[in-house]
C-alpha cells in the first residue's frame, strides 16, 4: 500500500461524531472499515493485484490498485468486504451465547459491521454492490450509466431520510453519506468510464484470456458513443463503415479503431470524425 487518504467527507463526519460525543462509535466504525478494506486488500493480493491507495469514506473506503481487474476477480474482491463484516457480526453474536457479559460492550461493534455489510451491498456505484453488478455486466459502459443513475437516486433517498430525521432525532451520518454517494456516483463513474473505454483499445486488452474476433457493419451516421456501447472489451473488431446505401466507406482494423475510440468527443457522428481525422479514411 503506497498511501492512505482521508476523504474530506470522512473528516467532516469524524468531527461531527466527536462534537456529538460519539467517540466510541467513531473508533469502532474506523476499526470495522479497516477490517472491511483489509479483506478487500488480502483478496486482491491473493489474486496477484498490486494495491496503491486506500481512501477512507463515510460509508467505508475505496481501495485502488495499479491493475485492471478481471471480471471474476473483481466479483470476489468486491464481495469479500461485506462478507467479512457479516462474519465478524456472526462471530460476535456467537460470543454472546458463550460469554453473555460481552453483550454490553460488543453490541455497537456488531451493529456497525451489519450496517457496513448491508449498506455496501446496495447496487450503487462506487459501493461494493455496484462493483459486483459491474463485474457481471457484458457492456460495462451501459452498466456504469445505470449504476450512476441508481447511485444518484440513492443519494436523494438518503438525503430525504436525513431531512426526515431532523423532525425526530437528526442523523448527520445520513446527510454525509448522501453527499458522498452523489459525488461517487458522478465523479467516480466518470473515472471508471475512462478505464472501461481504455479496455476497448487493443493495446490495453488482457491477452492472458481468450479474445474473440468479430466483424461489425455500422452506419456512418452512428455516433461514436453508440458504437463504443455496442463493443465488448473481450473482443477484437473489424468495423466496416457504410453509408445509407450500404456502400462501404472504409474498413477499420485494430489501429484505426483505437484512434476512433480515443477521439475526445464521443457524441459526434462517425462520418464527421472520419472526415476530420487524417489518420482515418
Largest CA distance in the chain: 80
Most confident of 53-57, 58-62, 103-107, 233-237: 103-107
Question: CATH 3.10.20 in the chain, residues?
Answer: 211-276
**Confidence (pLDDT) at 142:** 76
Gap between the Cα atoms of 135 and 204, Å rounded: 18
pTM: 0.62
**Confidence (pLDDT) at 84:** 92
Matching CATH number, 211-276, of 1.25.40, 3.40.50, 1.10.3470, 3.10.20: 3.10.20
pLDDT of 204 higher than 50: no
pLDDT higher at 34 or 184:
34
Gap between the Cα atoms of 141 and 149, Å rounded: 13
Gap between the Cα atoms of 109 and 88, Å rounded: 9
Gap between the Cα atoms of 229 and 37, Å rounded: 32
Neighbours of 123 (CB within 10 A): 17
Of 34-48, 104-118, 226-240, 267-281, the one with minimum mean pLDDT is 267-281
Averaged confidence pLDDT in the chain: 76
Q: What average pLDDT does range 44-68 have in this prediction?
A: 62
**Confidence (pLDDT) at 196:** 45
**Confidence (pLDDT) at 277:** 63
- The pLDDT tens digits of the residues spanning 167-184 come to 888 776 677 778 777 877
Region label for 67, one of left (φ > 0), alpha (ψ between -120 and 50) or beta (otherwise): beta
Amino acid at each position: 500500500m503506497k498511501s492512505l487518504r482521508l476523504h474530506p467527507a470522512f473528516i467532516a463526519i469524524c468531527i461531527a461524531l466527536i462534537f456529538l460525543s460519539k467517540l466510541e462509535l467513531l473508533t469502532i466504525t474506523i476499526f470495522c472499515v479497516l477490517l472491511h478494506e483489509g479483506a478487500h486488500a488480502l483478496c486482491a493480493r491473493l489474486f496477484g493485484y498490486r494495491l496503491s491507495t486506500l481512501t477512507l469514506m463515510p460509508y467505508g473506503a475505496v481501495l485502488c490498485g495499479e491493475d485492471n481487474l478481471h471480471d471474476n476477480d473483481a466479483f470476489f474482491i468486491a464481495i469479500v468486504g461485506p462478507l467479512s463484516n457479516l462474519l465478524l457480526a456472526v462471530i460476535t453474536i456467537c460470543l454472546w451465547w458463550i460469554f453473555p457479559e460481552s453483550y454490553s460492550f460488543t453490541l455497537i461493534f456488531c451493529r456497525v459491521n451489519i450496517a457496513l455489510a448491508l449498506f455496501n451491498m446496495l447496487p450503487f456505484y462506487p459501493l461494493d454492490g455496484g462493483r459486483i453488478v459491474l463485474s457481471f455486466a457484458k457492456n460495462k459502459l451501459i452498466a456504469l450509466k445505470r449504476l450512476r443513475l441508481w447511485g444518484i437516486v440513492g443519494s436523494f433517498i438518503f438525503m430525504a431520510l436525513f431531512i426526515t430525521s431532523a423532525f425526530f432525532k437528526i442523523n448527520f451520518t445520513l446527510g454525509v453519506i448522501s453527499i458522498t454517494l452523489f459525488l461517487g456516483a458522478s465523479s467516480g463513474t466518470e473515472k471508471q468510464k475512462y478505464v472501461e473505454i481504455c479496455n476497448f483499445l487493443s493495446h490495453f486488452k488482457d491477452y492472458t484470456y481468450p479474445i474473440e474476433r468479430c466483424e461489425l457493419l455500422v452506419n456512418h451516421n452512428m455516433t461514436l458513443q453508440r458504437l463504443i456501447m455496442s463493443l465488448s472489451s473481450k473482443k477484437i473488431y473489424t468495423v466496416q463503415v457504410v453509408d445509407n446505401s450500404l456502400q462501404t466507406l472504409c474498413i477499420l482494423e485494430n489501429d484505426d479503431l483505437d484512434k476512433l475510440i480515443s477521439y475526445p468527443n464521443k457524441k459526434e457522428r462517425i462520418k464527421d470524425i472520419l472526415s476530420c481525422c487524417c489518420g482515418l479514411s
